[in-house]
Amino acid sequence: MPIQWFPGHMHATRKAIAERMPEIDVVIELLDARLPGSSANPLLAELTRGKPALKVLNKQDLADPQQTAAWLAHYQAQAGTRALALDASDTAPARRLIAACRELAPLRGGMVKPMRVLICGIPNVGKSTLVNTLRGGKRAAKTGDEAGITKVEQRIVLADDFYLYDTPGMLWPRIAIEASGYLLAASGAVGHNAYDDEEVALALLVQMLRHHADRLQARYKLGDLAGLNDEAVLAEIGRKRAPLLPGGRPHMQKAAEIAIHDFRSGAWGPVTLETLEEFKQWEAQAKLLDAEREARRAARSHKKKKLPQRGQGGDDGGGVG
Ligand code: G4P
């Protein structure tokens, strides 16, 4: 079943970002370099339309460098947009962020017109880690691998004339694309009660078999992968890494937990789960499905309107008991 996740706090975040937006010169969106398209939030694109944007592909150490380069080139080609890749090993990321923002808004700067930058990102993308580094290691923002740690807005002074605002509240992912939902869950951006480990692990393995089959082979000593599908690989992981169930069956739940953990911790080596072309196809399919859903909804409401309403010209009186 596709992941349905609608945390209730999005409204507050949307309001806070919308209110802050008129004073913001550049918006930094942190993306997960292993799933750049899926980890972008369409709501943010709506709220920040027209503002110069800096896309930061974070956790680049965990991503396939070739794919990261392709995604960076894609963003760099967009108007009013710059992109760079980063990871937590960069102990002084401020210089690159400041330079990119100054390129995007060259008229801002100096004490009279200081640069005001908003930093946003969905849970677990590494925002608190980056903000902590930018604050000089002072751990004001909490880090953790479960979605849902809320915070209040902070202002970080990166230079005398450069202010960075950390998004108040949580920018939850908006899951419009089914495949993205699974990858977001795998990355830790979605609350654990919203998904099934086995489904997520299988979706993860589908993408891994497509793009990085050799990594699975190496990690789990799988031998020849020809003819092995996602389920067969998950079963193999279970056989190799978890105690067997009665009858020698692999423990699929344990295997799923191991696969997700190995992905999150980078045990597979640098992997990127989605290519640009693939993500564009997913987007197009999701739009088509949305349009079909909308057409069905319109047809239903048209049909309802045609039926006589209770209490309108009927003889049921319309009264209450
Ligand atoms: P968030 O505020 O966006 O929710 O994310 P947060 O900084 O809490 O980071 C989520 C997890 O990702 C943390 O791991 C953090 O260490 C890790 N992380 C952040 N940036 C990078 C990066 O560039 N590369 C890699 N490899 N990992 C990164 P954790 O296991 O949940 O917590 P901890 O072990 O750091 O305590």
Following DSSP, what letter does each residue of 57-119 receive, concatenated? EE-GGGS-HHHHHHHHHHHHTSTTEEEEE--TT-S-THHHHHHHHHHH-TT-BTTTB-EEEEE
Find the residues whose C-beta lies inside 6 A of ligand 1.
58-59, 61-62, 87-88, 121, 123-129, 143-145, 266
Q: Closest Cα to atom 8, ligand 1: which residue?
A: 143
**Residue having the nearest C-alpha atom to atom 31 of ligand 1:** 145
Q: What are phi and psi of 9, to 5 degrees?
A: -90, 0
State which ligand 1 atom lies nearest to the alpha carbon of 121.
3
Asked if 134 and 81 touch (Cβ cutoff 8 Å), the reply is no
CA dihedral sign of residues 293, 187, 69, 40 = positive
pLDDT of residue 152: 62
The pick from 143, 152, 262, 272 for probing ligand 1's pocket by mutation, whose C-beta has the most ligand atoms within 8 angstroms, reads 143
The predicted pLDDT at position 9 comes to: 66
Q: Where in the chain is the domain with CATH 3.40.50.300?
A: 9-166
Tell me, in angstroms, the distance from the centre of ligand 1 to residue 260's CA: 15
Token pair of 154 as six digits:
């902070």
CA–centroid distance, residue 194 to ligand 1 (Å): 21
For the residues of 1-43, what is the DSSP string, one character each? Answer: -------TTHHHHHHHHHHHGGG-SEEEEEEETTSTTTTS-HH
Q: Which distant-in-sequence residues (6+ apart) come within 8 Å of 49 by Cβ?
A: none
Residues carrying CATH 1.10.1580.10, the chain: 196-265
Q: How far is the CA of 225 from the centre of ligand 1 (A)?
A: 32
Q: Is the dihedral of CA 27, 33, 36, 40 positive or negative?
A: negative
Q: Which fold has domain 196-265?
A: Conserved Hypothetical Protein Ylqf; Chain: A; domain 2 (1.10.1580)
Pocket test for ligand 1, best of 62, 133, 139, 145 (most atoms within 8 A of CB): 145
Question: Which residues, other chains included, contact 26 with Cβ-Cβ below 8 Å and sequence gap of 6+?
Answer: 51, 52, 53, 54, 101, 104, 105, 115, 116, 117, 118
Calculate helix-pair angle for 197-211, 213-220, nearest 10 degrees.
110
Atom 34 (ligand 1): residue with closest C-alpha?
A: 144
Please tell me the CATH code under which domain 9-166 is placed. 3.40.50.300
pLDDT of residue 311: 58
| 87 touches 61 (CB < 8 A) | yes
Ligand 1 centroid, distance to 264 Cα (angstroms): 10
- Say how far apart CA 154 and CA 165 lie, in whole Å: 6
Q: What is the pLDDT along the chain (321 residues), one digit of tens a residue?
A: 777 766 666 777 888 889 999 999 999 999 999 999 999 998 888 899 889 999 999 999 999 999 999 999 999 999 999 999 999 999 899 999 999 999 999 999 999 999 999 999 999 999 999 999 998 876 554 444 444 444 567 899 999 999 999 987 777 777 889 999 999 999 999 989 889 999 999 999 999 999 999 999 999 999 888 888 999 999 999 999 999 999 999 999 999 999 999 999 999 999 999 999 999 999 999 999 888 988 998 998 888 877 766 655 444 433 332
For residue 55, the 8-state DSSP code is E
- Rounded to the nearest integer, the mean pLDDT of the chain is 88
Q: How far is the CA of 88 from the centre of ligand 1 (A)?
A: 8
Q: Which one of 59, 127, 129, 192 would you pick to mutate in the ligand 1 pocket, going by the greatest count of ligand atoms within 8 A of its CB?
A: 129
Q: How far is the centre of ligand 1, averaged over its atoms, from the C-alpha of 39 (Å)?
A: 15
Task: Pick the atom of ligand 1 nearest to 89's CA.
Answer: 23
| 147 C-alpha to ligand 1 centroid (Å) | 11
